[in-house]
Structure 1
Amino acid sequence: MAESGDLHEDQFRCSICLDLLKDPVTVNCGHSYCMTCIKGCWDQEDHAGVYSCPQCRQTFSQRPVLGRNTMLAEVVEKLKKAELPPAPVDHCYAGPGDVICDVCTGRKNKAIKSCLVCLANYCETHLKIHKGHRHKMVNSIGKLQEKICSRHKKLLEFYCCTDQQCICYLCRIVDHRGHDTVSVGAARTEKQTGLQQRIQQREKEVQELREAVESLTVSMEQRRRQQLAAGRAI
Structure 2
Amino acid sequence: MAEAFLTARDSFSCPICLDLLKDPVTIPCGHNFCLDCIEDCWDEDDQRGVYSCPQCRHSFTPRPVLNKNNLIAEMVEKIKTMKFQAPPGSPADSPAGSLAGSGDVECDVCSGTKLRAVKSCLVCLASYCEAHIQPHYESPAFKKHKLVEASMNLQDKICSLHDKLLEVFCRTDQKCICLLCSLDEHSGHKTVSAAAEKTEKQRQLGQNREDCKRIIQQKEKDVRELTQVMEDLMRSAQAAVEDSEKIFTELIESIERRRSEVKELIRAQEKTELSQAEDLLKKLEQEIADLRRRDAELEQLSHSEDHIHFLQDYLSLPALPGVTKFYNINTKPQFSIEFVKKLVSEMEQLNWFSKLEIVKISKVHTIRAAEPKTRKEFMK
Scaled by the length of structure 2, what TM-score is found?
Answer: 0.31
Kindly name which structure, 1 or 2, has the bigger radius of gyration based on alpha carbons. Answer: 2
Structure richer in helix, relative to its length: 2
Using CA pairs under 8 Å that are at least 6 residues apart, name the structure with larger relative contact order, 1 or 2: 1
Higher strand proportion: 1
